[in-house]
Amino acid sequence: MRDYIIMTDSCCDLSQQEVEELELTVLPLSFTIEGKTLLNTPDHADMSPEEFFAKIAAGADCTTAAVNVGQFTDAMEKVLQEGKDILCVCFSSALSTTYQSACIAAEDLREKYPEAKILVIDSLSASRGQGMLLYRAVRERREKNLTIDELDAYVRSIIQSQCHWFIVDDLNHLKRGGRVSSTAALVGTMLGIKPVMHTDSEGRLTPVSKARGTKAALRALVDKVGEIGVEPAKNQPMLICHANCPESVEYVKGLLKERFGVTDVRDDFIGPVIGAHTGCGTLGLFFVGTER
């Protein structure tokens, strides 16, 4: 049986330490800020998250770019030349063309390497929700010594149990992205309204409800764990992403511990590619649930 690697892209928002722990191959998306195009890598070599969000808070414009076909072709061919197969788990196709690029590269390379398996999965996930999917995949592979086909089937079977719940602090970023109207952004900002959003079953970021104030919105995220979470009282691992708001992270961690006894909560920054569209103060909570 041929060995295989797990490939993904940097919108999984896993840290360099996590990437090494999980033995992942991560391809970077890119972002352009203040006229410079930089790579969104797990080690944040081109720009630290703190510096990035400070620039965003100061009003800097930022555009982003998906992993292109050429990047995937080069990275995949290197693996194939080593005689290994590839399971590639990509950022939601509803939010990026990264998945389509991986599919095109894989199709081209299958003709050149007909003995190889290159399986590409649309995670329908974003940020550390995608990262949590990878955590679960690697754990299952290691525990059960799964073949690439078995792991492919497992990952596809758990995608809809990946719960992604977010709050966004600045409605103006959503206005620029076309998620809310200018009037709603203005009124919401004046009243301190914080939208509660989730990544739906098709991988789209969708507003679900509104809360007055940050703490109420954060409590709404934790409420969702109680509503649809699978056995949170058994200390199920959860992941958090945040856009430079450590106080909110600690508040959510405290609520999870107080209400469910959850202590295995792993947090890290939202990367610049996603952060460019959500702005500062965004926080996402990811957990296993009965439904999206």
Residue type, 86: I
Q: What is the per-residue burial (b if ≥16 Cβ within 10 Å, else e) of 119-138?
A: bbbbbbbbbbbbbbbbbbbb
217 pLDDT more than 60: yes
Average pLDDT for the chain: 91
65 pLDDT more than 70: yes
Contacts of 260 (CB under 8 A, 6+ apart): 225, 226, 229, 232, 233
Neighbours of 79 (CB within 10 A): 21
pLDDT in tens, 179-196: 444 544 444 454 467 888
Q: What is the pLDDT of residue 42?
A: 97
**What percent of the chain has pLDDT above 90?**
81
Name the residue among 163, 128, 159 with its Cα closest to residue 19: 128
How many H-runs (helices) and E-runs (strands) does the chain carry?
A: 11, 13
- First-residue to last-residue Cα distance in the chain: 35
Find out whether 261 and 288 touch, Cβ atoms under 8 Å: no
Q: What is the DSSP string of 158-208?
A: HGGGEEEEEE-S-HHHHHHTTSS-HHHHHHHHHHTEEEEEEE-TTS-EEEE
137 pLDDT more than 80: yes
Q: What is the pLDDT of residue 185?
A: 45
Q: What is the pLDDT of residue 279?
A: 87
Contacts of 36 (CB under 8 A, 6+ apart): none
Q: Give the C-alpha distances (Å, rounded to integers) separating 99 from 20, 233, 288.
A: 23, 35, 23
State how far the Cα of 22 lies from the Cα of 29, in Å rounded to an integer: 20
Q: What is the pLDDT of residue 64?
A: 94
Q: What is the pLDDT of residue 182?
A: 52
